[in-house]
Amino acid sequence: MTKKLSYMLYSGKMSDDVYTMVPGLFQWSVAFEKFGKGGTLSADIHRHSLENYDVVHVNYTPRNDSYIAAIRNALGEKSDTKIIANVDYAVGMWNSMDPHIMKAMLEKADMIFHVEPVGAGRIRNLVKEEMKKNVFTIPHPVNTTEIQKMASEDREPVIACQYHRYLDSWQDYWWGLKEIREIYKDHKVILMNYTAPEKRSNVPIVCMFDEVVGRMKYFEYLKLLSHVMINIDITPDYTYGRGVVDAAALGVPTIGSRTISAAQMLFGSLMVESGRDNDVKQKCINLLEDDKFYEYIANDAGQTCDYYSLEKSYNRMVDAICECC
């Protein structure tokens, strides 16, 4: 039986919809609340407050690179309260973080994790020898049970493409679906979660897709995604892929990059590489022309996504903490 632990994420309070449903970092407090001895968000750094918890979690970013050290200074070296830390961002964005500072700060934690294996491997290579065994790959939780309640059998002839604002990622979708749009003229291709890049583009994005949908509230996003036929998520960067888990829980087959760890787990037969346009086309054709294949992919991913559930994530986290602490 998994041990029950109490948990604090070092953070300010979030809005209720972010706190209770949006996949990722803030779901840890929900998981510990539901399956442990309690979970909360707090920015109280006083020792008497920190020691109310078994675990204090810091999300390491360039803007808060001193937090782990500050909490360690408050707790001291022999506290029963354990510090766990994860490094934020996909590894392609780590150029904003000094690895020397990262190493010094992470080594003040008791346990370190990253949400996908490439980043975890880099951290393991960075820290001192005795810390290497304390580095784990643990994806952030997704409330798959609640998301599955929003699944719909009413699908529209729509192919959704997920925009990555840090990479201005629209080209793979346009080139990969160029022939699909000519073959399946009744299908609409939409770009989801679009945010205009800081560096203005000369390309009129609204002319590249049948519809461009900006960022929206999480429940609105799920509702729209639940009605599409195919979801596509392509990025050259190594990422976890929380949105891929969303799609799996909704039963929406997703063509995803090999660099997305959730795509490897949930949609192994639909993985592609950035720039392989013909592969994107062929995967779409397979899904649109073969109903049995489509159904198998959707059902299999819908079951396998339980790996990312609150309960399974809690158990993985506690097992890792108990193993090294």
16-58 tens-digit pLDDT: 555 567 899 999 999 999 999 999 999 999 999 999 999 999 9
pLDDT at 318: 98
Query: Does residue 14 surpass a pLDDT of 80?
Result: no
227-246 tens-digit pLDDT: 999 999 999 999 999 999 99
- Write out the chain in H/E/C secondary structure: CCCCCEEEEECCCCCHHHHHCCCCCCHHHHHHHHHCCEEEEECCCCHHHHCCCCEEEEEECHHHCCHHHHHHHHHCCCCCCEEEEEECCCHHHHHHCCHHHHHHHHCCCCEEEECCHHHHHHHHHHCCHHHHHHEEECCCCCCHHHHHCCCCCCCEEEEEEECCCCCCCCHHHHHHCHHHHHHCCCCEEEEEEECCCCCCCCCCHHHCCCEEEECCCHHHHHHHHCCEEEEEECCCCCECCHHHHHHHHCCCCEEEECCEHHHHHHCHHHEECCCCHHHHHHHHHHHHHCHHHHHHHHHHHHHHHHHHCHHHHHHHHHHHHHHHC
170-220 tens-digit pLDDT: 999 999 999 999 999 999 999 999 988 766 666 788 889 999 999 999 999
Q: Which fold has domain 145-307?
A: Rossmann fold (3.40.50)
Whether 6-143+309-324 shares its CATH topology with 145-307 is answered yes
Q: How confident is the model at residue 15 (pLDDT cuts 50, 70, 90)?
A: low
Q: Where are the domains of the chain?
A: 6-143+309-324, 145-307
pLDDT at 211: 96
pTM to 2 decimal places: 0.93
Query: The CATH number of 6-143+309-324 is which of 3.90.1570, 2.30.30, 3.40.50, 1.10.3470?
Result: 3.40.50
pLDDT at 198: 65
